[in-house]
Structure 1
Amino acid sequence: MSQSSTFDAEFDVVVVGSGVAALFGAAAAASRGLTTFLVEKTDRFGGTSAYSGGAVWLPGNPVLARDGLEDSVASGRTYFRAVVGDRTDHDLQDAFLNTGPMVVDFLQDELGIPTRFQAFPDYFDAPGRQEVGRSIYPKPIRGEEVGARTADIRSSVPSDQFGAPEDSTKLEGGRAWVARLVLALDAMETAELRLTTAAEELIRDDDGRVVGVAVRDGSGVRRVGARRGVLVAAGGFERSSELRSLWQRMPTADWSASHPDTGSGDAVRMFEKVGARLDLLDQSWWCPATLFPNGHAAFTLGFRSGIIVDGTGRRFGNELLPYDQMGRRMHARMDDGAGEEFWFVFDDTEAGGFPAICVPAPDPGQLREAGLWHTAGSIAELADAIGIDPDALGESVARFNGFAEQGRDSDFGRGEDPYGRFFLGASTPEECLRPLGGKRLHAVRLVLGDLGTKGGAVIDPNGSVVGADGAPIPGLYAAGNSSASVSGEAYPGPGVPLGSGMTMAFRAVADMAGQPLPVNPVPVSP
């Protein structure tokens, strides 16, 4: 490991990565007057965050109150603790939850980023749940407001991975967060942002403190010093086939929602070299995904009709489960030997259209040509086309149709939870149970996808990376998918990845500035 006090450049804070957690951490540092250097290895800012819907889950934050939702940090803690339990340290959980409102105040008051509440239910039926959700989103921003920086913001999924024309007239969701944070940083004299600059190694001094980063750009390797600390928020390892196979038993890395050039495991490899404690390496933010002819897969949810079966032709879960929970059932079926093929089976209720939310929308002709969409006049014919047992598929369809007739899914409870009804605009479970029939049936290939891995460096409540001995590694911090998620093996609600990443980056910067935030703030007397 490199150990030297000589650098080609030196800053107070060095940030590795350019997703929302990294950009927010950089903005928090630069706004404090700390000289801040952010490096992104690709030619676009945003990482996997740019692909997200932009939800940020922070209980009891002021935007919720402003927009008329009754919520509190205490209610959020009750829910979070019920869902996550003891899988992660309670002080870490409390640090995240208690700091959320401060993060939103900083977004609004210091950075001037406009936000809004938008309904999207919490994912678990547990005490403290908000059935309309508690997530906030950035307001969209016009491309003309972003100006020349538009070309530096990662494109949307359809254009970035599936060849659709790029449309940057309006940036929404995760892209809006990225654009607004980049513009905020551009306005700060203390911030410097670099694209096509990859972090390769953490630099330590003789006492083991992380004091900088070796980065590679077009001119070669440079050593960049960090007087206060290094924040690594460079995503996970979702695009590393080697690491996905090693830690997650995944047959490929191509089904992840992230861009192929991101999430290659750089962060976790750097952490390993400095003796960081790692956790949750077998975990991802899972989801069903539709397989496309180019080998990539697109996040799919909101199944309005039809059923999902595994390679044995059997239904194995509630299709309207929150996507991470359905993804976990898919992973379990793979582990149980049902294979890696899954099929979404539906009829012509929507005139042969795809009855689910998938961006980009699948093109039937292209998928048929690739063997990923089959259409048949009978169950037996369809089963033969997709290579599964016709009796098993027939039994699955007949059983589901029986549930639809009686108005209750006795196997998996489809439509009984508010989350499932939300996407269908349904008020009763019966509305979520439409029988399969008609002259034609379709089967579209699904795979187990993800929105990124969620395992990495263990961090303490200040965002410091913890070493093998349980003590913080001086000068080293982590946030976002580079860290082991504060939510453990659970995905409590929409926006937990971005919300926790932003919060822990905010706390990390406060610690670097010598002003660590308390885990439990002292209540202010009325």
Structure 2
Amino acid sequence: MSDFPTPGTSAELPAEVDVVVAGSGAAALTGAYTAAKRGLRVLVLEKTDRLGGTSAYSGAGLWLPGNDVQRRGGVQDSVEAGLEYLRATVGDRTPADLQQAYVRSGPELVAFLERDPAIEFETMPFPDYFEAPGRAKPAGRAICPAPLAGSELGDRLAQLRPTMNADKFGEQVPRDTLTHGQALIARLLLAIDATGNADIRTGCPLESLVKVDGRVVGVRAGGREVRARAGVLVAAGGYECDGDRRQRFHGLPTGDWTAAYPGSNTGDALEALEGVGAGVDLLDEAWWCPATLFPNGRAVFTLGLTAGIFVGPDGTRFGNESLPYDRMGHILLDRIHELGPDVEFWWVFDSRTETPPGIVSPVPDKEELRAAKLWRTADTVEGLATEIGVPAVALRETVDRFNGFAASGTDDDFHRGEDDYDRFFAVGDGPNPALVPLDRGPLHAVRIVLSDLGSKGGARIGTSGEVLDTDGRPIPGLFAAGNSSASVTGHVYPGPGTPLGSGMVFAHRAANAMHAATQQPVSDAARG
């Protein structure tokens, strides 16, 4: 049994442990579990009053090619195919050895985690996001945690960050069965607690890193310095909630549209890392996605847009609306950079459904959106154009042209419906199920903004998650993973589960490196 204080209490922090982990998302908890399972004493520091971070909101897909879970599920895949695909999509934007470390470590990580009775995965059909060599067809290569009874978590259930619907929008969401991100965080917490080697604290943000003679030797948190004999792992998210950084790095008007819990990921980790000389990269990037804007000023990730079109202020389409969310997000970002941060985008659809076509959770209240002027309706195309402030002639031409594409089955402008991903969510019954005509009045438009699943830039890392300084040299004792590090995937989002999968891999590798350092034999000279 551990002699740590009761998990989550406000008892005084210990003066020294083996490993300090900042954050409690999937990457942080994977690193904490790995270190604790190896016998190291671990302190986990979570800024907010709940555990799980944005990972607890997620679908919890993990992109880890060639693992045993895929084989059990009959998915044909290999590490080599995954590497080929990653290299084809990411190119040389990130180091080849970093890409190799990510993909080659995936199967070992999955096997390591599943050796614990609390952790179980299953396959998750979801196509890779690019047509490129090595792509897994037809249904992708993602895996996800198996569902878990909420009662299994015991007292920890109250500490687990709820689903986004409950946490940000006040819905009553049952917790009898935990799925997706809820299940992933819950399973990791169960595994960590079973080691008896971890102390998990909430309401305890990382204040700074302590560096002595070039080495990071601990942290300041809770007004106290905690030394870390083996090292510090920073996996505390990014800066997506910080409005100033969003304007400076991304050119966006606010930090309110991100998926993260308000006020959580405000750049504390980035500031601490830069404070000890960490080199940074990809600060202009995020894991982008279109989102439905809600009356409370927040935005909700909108997936699987199937029966409608995007239009900008000129009333015309500007991309394949069925693209994977990050790819469409980059198109929206380019338009914002071109037209300014106040540009408005609308999702235009007809009356085939009572809600906007696509997976929006929570489902928006139509009347609340209308009252906030975020949902507009008109009997004609021209009337809708007036409602959303776009040229009527242009919107009429756009709708007529798109309806012609739906009739023919070919999108001559943006090739919608030609890719496996486009067809994955398709609902139409015409010659191309991804092309559904807009011909059932009245017509509607819902306001769409650019959101994200988290920022993507952070500390540059090496193959064991070691943080590199501005000259590319490792900072001893310091590691980073997840959205506190610059992503191994550079400017692209290759497939479902890349953010969580890569974060978990490098946190695992970091913990292994810290454990290995504690096992180094003492030299004859050191013995005297």
TM-score when normalising by structure 1: 0.94
Which residue does the alignment assign to 1:519? none
Which residue does the alignment assign to 2:245? 243
Which residue does the alignment assign to 2:27? 21
Identity %: 53
State the Cα distance separating 1:102 from its structure 2 match.
Answer: 0.6
Secondary structure of the structure 1 residue equivalent to 2:144: strand
* 1:487–1:428 distance in 2 versus 1, CA, 3 Å: farther
State the Cα distance separating 1:41 from its structure 2 match.
Answer: 0.8
State the Cα distance separating 1:422 from its structure 2 match.
Answer: 0.6
* 1:250–1:120 distance in 2 versus 1, CA, 3 Å: same
The number of aligned residues is 504
* 1:140–1:88 distance in 2 versus 1, CA, 3 Å: same
State the Cα distance separating 1:8 from its structure 2 match.
Answer: 5.5
1:180 and 2:183 are equivalent in the alignment: no
State the Cα distance separating 1:280 from its structure 2 match.
Answer: 0.2
**Residue identity opposite 2:19 in structure 1:** V
**Residue identity opposite 2:394 in structure 1:** A
**Residue identity opposite 2:279 in structure 1:** R
Which residue does the alignment assign to 1:420? 422
1:78 and 2:78 are equivalent in the alignment: no
Per-residue CA shift, 1:328-355, capped at 9, x if unaligned? 00011111116531100000112x3321
Moved more, 379-388 or 251-260: 379-388
Secondary structure of the structure 2 residue equivalent to 1:332: helix
Match of 1:513 among 509, 512, 515: 515
- Check the 8 A contact 2:322/2:422 in 1, yes or no: yes
Which residue does the alignment assign to 2:168? 161
State the Cα distance separating 1:398 from its structure 2 match.
Answer: 1.2
- Check the 8 A contact 1:415/1:428 in 2, yes or no: no
- Check the 8 A contact 1:237/1:243 in 2, yes or no: yes
Structure 2 gap segments, 5+ residues each: 1-12, 519-528
- Check the 8 A contact 2:122/2:145 in 1, yes or no: yes
Q: Where do residues 214-225 of structure 1 align in structure 2 (5 Å cutoff)?
A: 214-216=220-222, 221-225=223-227
Which residue does the alignment assign to 1:133? 140
* 1:8–1:306 distance in 2 versus 1, CA, 3 Å: closer
Q: Where do residues 334-345 of structure 1 align in structure 2 (5 Å cutoff)?
A: 334-337=336-339, 339-345=342-348
**Residue identity opposite 1:246 in structure 2:** R
**Residue identity opposite 1:344 in structure 2:** W
Per-residue CA shift, 1:406-456, capped at 9, x if unaligned? 210000011110101011267986111111112300000000010000100
Which residue does the alignment assign to 1:55? 61
Task: Find the aligned partners of 1:261 and 1:147 in 2 and give their Cα distance.
Answer: 28
Per-residue CA shift, 1:320-378, capped at 9, x if unaligned? 0000000000011111116531100000112x332111111111111001100011101
Which residue does the alignment assign to 1:520? none
Task: Find the aligned partners of 2:215 and 2:430 in 1 and give their Cα distance.
Answer: 58
Match of 2:397 among 389, 395, 400: 395
Match of 2:492 among 486, 490, 493: 490
Q: Where in structure 1 do 4 or more consecutive aligned residues deviate above 3 Å?
A: 425-429
Task: Find the aligned partners of 2:130 and 2:430 in 1 and give their Cα distance.
Answer: 18
- Check the 8 A contact 2:286/2:453 in 1, yes or no: yes
Secondary structure of the structure 1 residue equivalent to 2:195: coil
Match of 2:471 among 469, 472, 480: 469
Which residue does the alignment assign to 1:328? 330
Match of 2:210 among 196, 200, 203: 203
Task: Find the aligned partners of 1:398 and 1:427 in 2 and give their Cα distance.
Answer: 19
Per-residue CA shift, 1:38-83, capped at 9, x if unaligned? 0001010011101110101000011101111111000000000000
State the Cα distance separating 1:190 from its structure 2 match.
Answer: 1.1
- Check the 8 A contact 2:461/2:486 in 1, yes or no: yes
- Check the 8 A contact 1:367/1:373 in 2, yes or no: yes
State the Cα distance separating 1:111 from its structure 2 match.
Answer: 5.4
Moved more, 381-390 or 481-490: 381-390
Which residue does the alignment assign to 1:34? 40
Match of 2:434 among 415, 432, 435: 432
Moved more, 355-364 or 13-22: 355-364
**Residue identity opposite 2:116 in structure 1:** E
**Residue identity opposite 2:121 in structure 1:** T
Task: Find the aligned partners of 1:260 and 1:124 in 2 and give their Cα distance.
Answer: 32
